[in-house]
């Protein structure tokens, strides 16, 4: 009986050698990853650990105070305002940015100048948020002569309700009584054939209506009332209530004729020399008056940078920057939608709104979620555009968590314990959104 000896077969020709333990490829990968790991440890891991530990100490860093800094977040009015503002940002901005981007993305597919429109909307993304804040800080100036936003509102407002020609004028004598809001009335009544003199002062040279001519006293009119409205001011002297040489008439002034009960019976505008004529007034006493429309003040502007509007103002500037980002991503998603699905929906009788709501939006859901979640993360840590737009006097009203962290730590308070607690709290707020984003990526893969 013969016995066979078991011998190991040699490995097939060309097969890679078996590597055990730390092979050369592992060491090579570790060598390449080491610099990145060191930088991550120095710039991210170590600061994160130090910030968390520092949040349990007082301002000086010597006293361990447990969770007292975190309790201060909800006790301090300034910090609580920051929390409320951030909640408002999360509730409003991501949804509006996503909606605006969706609308712009759909519109750019239907207009011939879609590329130019995309460039114009996306252009704010090319500048920093701080630079965008500086731009909008200038645009929000209250004076319509300097602030673009108020200047645009002034154009519309003045077209609907034009300002008066003499908003700052006042009576030159006690013969005129009343207020600019209700009109200046000649105290002594006049009747047909009389000449009314309505002198005004407090009018700067720049406010004199264009084309003004030297004031004259009109001739009496049979059966009517004539008069003059003029700038009752002569440099170096002159008699109040009398038309002196060189004094100018005021054109475009609304003159009302009122009866003894105060009801308006006629109305006329003055000529270039300030004169006016009211024909066929009938018998009885009347009171000429300069109507309130003459004194209507011009649009003075909305205080966008005031305490009550600063947060919505910053939000609008922020959405102006990020609308382009949302539009580009959503437009890319629209381009990937199969056109045959849209045509099939239209063929089945669906209106454009039904196709948009029941086909386009559901197919865009992954892209819309990307934009929405990205915006939530961004608004949670918004900082630079707030500090660029909000003046120092209203920064407490526009405060957000990131700005509160910076002001607490580096803005003069120098409380690094509380500032670290704010930073940790912000980090905890971002984590759920990051987890949601990671889970969404895994589902797509």
Please state, in angstroms and rounded to a whole number, the distance separating the CA atoms of residues 423 and 333.
35
Which pLDDT does position 421 carry in this prediction?
Answer: 94
Is the pTM of the predicted complex or chain greater than 0.95? no
pLDDT at residue 82 above 90? yes
Q: Which pLDDT does position 22 carry in this prediction?
A: 58
Q: What share of the chain is helix, strand, coil (3-state, %, to 5)?
A: 50, 10, 40
Confidence of residue 17 (pLDDT cuts 50, 70, 90): low
The answer to whether the CB of 94 falls within 8 A of the CB of 323 is no
* pLDDT reading at 1 higher than 50: no
Beta bridge pairs of residue 227: 196, 276
Q: What is the mean pLDDT of the chain?
A: 87
pLDDT (average), residues 413-436: 90
Q: Which CA distances in Å does 234 have to 201, 237, 246, 408?
A: 10, 6, 7, 60
Query: Which of 5-14, 264-273, 323-332 is the least confident region?
Result: 5-14
> DSSP readout, 392-418?
GGGTTTS--HHHHHHHHHHSS---HHH
435 token code pair: 């987890």
Give me the mean pLDDT over the 82-92 stretch: 94
For the stretch 253-304, pLDDT in tens is 899 998 888 888 889 999 999 999 988 888 888 889 998 888 888 888 899 9
Q: Average pLDDT of 413-428?
A: 91
pLDDT at 422 over 90: yes
String of DSSP letters for 272-333: TTSEEEE----SS-BEEEE-GGGGPPPP----TTSTTTHHHHHHHHHHHHHHHHHHHHHHHH
Q: How far is CA 153 from CA 110, 167, 170, 312, in A?
A: 30, 19, 28, 17
From 103-107, 318-322, 438-442, the region with the lowest mean pLDDT: 438-442
- In CATH terms, 170-295 corresponds, of 2.60.40, 2.30.30, 3.30.720, 1.10.760, to 2.60.40
Q: Please give the backbone phi and psi of residue 10, each rounded to the nearest 5 degrees, phi first.
A: -65, 150
Q: Considering just the CA atoms, what is the radius of gyration of the chain in Å?
A: 37
Q: How many residues does the chain have?
A: 445
The reported pLDDT for the residue numbered 4 is 46
Backbone dihedral angles phi then psi of residue 363, each to the nearest 5 degrees: -70, -25
Q: In Å, what is the CA distance from 340 to each residue of 344, 345, 356, 364? A: 6, 9, 14, 16
> CA-CA distance, 244 to 199, in Å (whole number)?
11
Evaluate the CA torsion angle 301, 307, 309, 311 in order and state its sign: positive
pLDDT on residue 92: 96
Q: Which two tokens stand for residue 309?
A: 């509007």
- Tell me how far apart the alpha carbons of residues 127 and 191 are, in angstroms, rounded to a whole number: 69
* Strands laid side by side in the 254-258 sheet: 176-179, 183-186, 287-290, 254-258, 264-269
Domain boundaries, given as residue ranges, for the chain: 73-152+304-444, 170-295
Under 8 Å CB-to-CB from 167, ≥6 apart: which residues?
A: 180, 207, 295, 296, 297, 298
| DSSP-derived 3-state class of residue 426 | helix
* Residues 6+ positions from 21 with CB-CB distance below 8 Å: none
pLDDT above 70: percentage of residues in the chain = 94
Residue with tokens 């039904």: 354
pLDDT of residue 442: 79
- Residue 99: pLDDT band (50, 70, 90) is very high
3-class SS of residue 107: helix
Instruction: Pull the structure tokens for residue 247.
Output: 């004094």
Topology of domain 73-152+304-444 in CATH is MetI-like fold (1.10.3720)
């Amino acid at each position: 009986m013969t016995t066979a000896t078991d011998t190991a077969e040699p490995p097939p020709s060309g097969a890679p050698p078996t590597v055990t333990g730390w092979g050369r490829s592992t060491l090579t990968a570790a060598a390449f990853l080491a610099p990145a790991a060191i930088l991550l440890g120095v710039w991210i891991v170590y600061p994160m650990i130090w910030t968390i530990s520092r949040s349990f100490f007082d301002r000086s860093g010597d006293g361990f105070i447990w969770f007292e800094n975190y309790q201060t977040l909800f006790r301090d009015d300034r910090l609580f305002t920051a929390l409320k503002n951030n909640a408002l940002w999360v509730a409003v901005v991501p949804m509006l940015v996503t909606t605006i981007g969706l609308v712009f993305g759909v519109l750019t597919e239907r207009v011939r100048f879609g590329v130019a429109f995309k460039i114009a909307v996306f252009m704010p993304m090319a500048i920093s948020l701080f630079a965008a804040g500086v731009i909008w800080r200038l645009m929000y100036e209250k004076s319509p002569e300097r602030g673009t936003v108020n200047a645009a509102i002034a154009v519309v407002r003045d077209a609907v309700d034009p300002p008066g020609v003499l908003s700052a004028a006042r009576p030159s004598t006690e013969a005129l009584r009343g207020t600019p809001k209700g009109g200046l009335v000649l105290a002594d009544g006049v009747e047909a054939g009389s000449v009314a003199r309505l002198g005004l002062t407090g009018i700067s040279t720049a406010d004199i209506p264009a084309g003004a001519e030297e004031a004259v006293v009109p001739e009496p009119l049979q059966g009517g009332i004539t008069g003059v409205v003029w700038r009752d001011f002569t440099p170096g002297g002159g008699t109040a209530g009398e038309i002196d040489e060189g004094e100018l008439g005021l054109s475009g002034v609304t003159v009302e004729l009122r009866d003894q009960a105060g009801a308006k019976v006629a109305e006329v505008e003055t000529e270039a020399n300030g004169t006016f004529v009211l024909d066929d007034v009938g018998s009885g006493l009347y009171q000429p008056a300069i109507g309130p429309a003459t004194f209507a003040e011009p649009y003075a502007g909305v205080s966008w940078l005031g305490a009550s509007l600063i947060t919505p103002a910053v939000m609008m500037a922020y959405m102006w920057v990020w609308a382009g980002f949302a539009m580009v991503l959503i437009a890319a998603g629209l381009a990937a939608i199969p056109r045959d699905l849209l045509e099939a929906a239209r063929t089945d009788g669906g209106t454009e709104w039904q196709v948009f709501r029941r086909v386009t939006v559901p197919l865009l859901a992954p892209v819309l979620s990307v934009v929405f979640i990205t915006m939530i993360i961004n608004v949670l840590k918004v900082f630079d555009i707030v500090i660029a737009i909000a003046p120092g006097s209203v920064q407490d009203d526009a405060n957000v968590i990131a700005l509160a962290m910076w002001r607490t730590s580096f803005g003069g308070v120098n409380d690094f314990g509380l500032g670290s607690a704010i930073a940790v709290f912000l980090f905890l707020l971002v984590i759920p959104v990051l987890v949601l984003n990671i889970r969404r990526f895994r589902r797509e893969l």
